[in-house]
Amino acid sequence: MRILFCVSLISPFAFAQTTNPKTEQELTAIAQELLDAVAPGKKEVWDKYLADSWIIREENGQVLTKAELLKEFGPLPPGYVGKIKVTDVHVRDYGNVAVISHRDKEELELFGQMLKTEFGSTDTYMMIDGQWKMIASHISVYPSELTAVSLTPEQLQRFTGSYELTSDVVYTITLEDNKLIGQRTGRAKEELFPENETRLFRKGAPRGIKIFVPDEKGRFIKIIDRRDNVDLVWRRIK
């Protein structure tokens, strides 16, 4: 407890940071060079900029070392054509250590079909022997936005009702001006959009899907609130 108390007293300015334009330019260029090397499998580029002690937490949760990454590094297979663009860059310079956060837009063509994915990357660099070397990375995937479908007023009305998590926590869905509106106890209203006849979602929140489960007569009796394949169940009360 004493250690935690002492840490809490450290001033947020103890580690001075700036947004150094030169550092931002250098790290942005390195980030793009690294990503340009992915499709052709230019292992030497990654070997140049990664410190020997570098580790990464990938989007699937796996942790890789530099040696493990370079071992499996290679060009895209036949039929694959890809490119990645670095965007939305934010850099914090702490002197001999710097952090860069960026959004990476990937276009990957697989046998004539285009897949577009956005990644979020945060990389930590250290100045070693006069050169920026990446010492740690973390990558995440931004889920793509779902597309709403058109349903009849009768189909929309089927979703309406109140569903409880507990007796004090209720989620109520109403139909207002032909729009589905949901509201949880104590929270603001939010518009819901149909993915199909049994699933709703909120725009800007693709991780959370509301799956409606019917009884034998087709009346919805519960909501499965699914977040990253983890379910929270709300049961209909009226």
Per residue in 130-174, pLDDT tens? 999 999 999 999 988 889 999 999 999 999 999 999 999 999 999
Structure tokens that stand for 218 in this block: 């087709």
Give 215's pLDDT tier (boundaries 50, 70, 90): very high
Beta strands 113-128; 131-142: pairing state: antiparallel
Residue entry with tokens 């990937």: 106
Provide the pLDDT for residue 78: 95
Tally helices (H) and strands (E) across the chain.
5, 14
Q: Map out the domains of the chain with their CATH numbers.
A: 14-142 (3.10.450.50), 153-236 (2.40.128.50)
**pLDDT the model gives residue 17:** 63
Rounded to the nearest 5°, which phi and psi values hold at 29? -65, -40
Contact call for residues 202 and 194 (beta carbons, < 8 A): no
Q: Please, are residues 206 and 193 in contact by the beta-carbon 8 Å criterion?
A: no
Confidence check: pLDDT of 25 > 70: yes
User: Which pLDDT value is given to residue 7?
Assistant: 37
Instruction: Give the containing element (helix H, strand E) for 107.
Output: strand 97-110
Which whole number is the average pLDDT over 198-213? 90
Dist. CA 153–CA 151, nearest whole Å = 7
CA–CA separation, 175 vs 160, rounded Å? 7
- Would the pLDDT of 228 be above 90? no
Q: Report the amino acid identity of residue 138.
A: H
pLDDT at 181 exceeding the cut of 60: yes
Percent of the chain with pLDDT over 70: 92
% of the chain at pLDDT higher than 90: 86
Residue 161: its pLDDT value, please? 97
* Per-residue pLDDT, 11: 42
pLDDT at 18: 67
| pTM for this model (two decimals) | 0.77
CA atoms of 44 and 130, how far apart (whole Å): 19
Radius of gyration over alpha carbons of the chain, in Å?
A: 24
Instruction: State which amino acid sits at residue 231.
Output: D
Closest CA to 205 of 223, 189, 188, 193: 193
| pLDDT for residue 16 | 59
With H, G, I as helix, E, B as strand and everything else as coil, classify residue 57: strand
Instruction: For the chain, give the mean pLDDT.
Output: 92
Q: Give residue-wise pLDDT tens across range 53-83.
A: 999 999 999 999 999 999 999 999 999 999 9
Average pLDDT value for residue range 95-114? 97
| Alpha helix stretches (DSSP H) within the chain | 2-8, 21-36, 43-49, 66-72, 153-157
- Are β-strands 131-142 and 161-166 bridged in parallel, bridged antiparallel, or unpaired? unpaired
Instruction: Write down the pLDDT at residue 8.
Output: 42
Q: CB of 69 within 8 A of CB of 171?
A: no
pLDDT at position 52 over 80 = yes
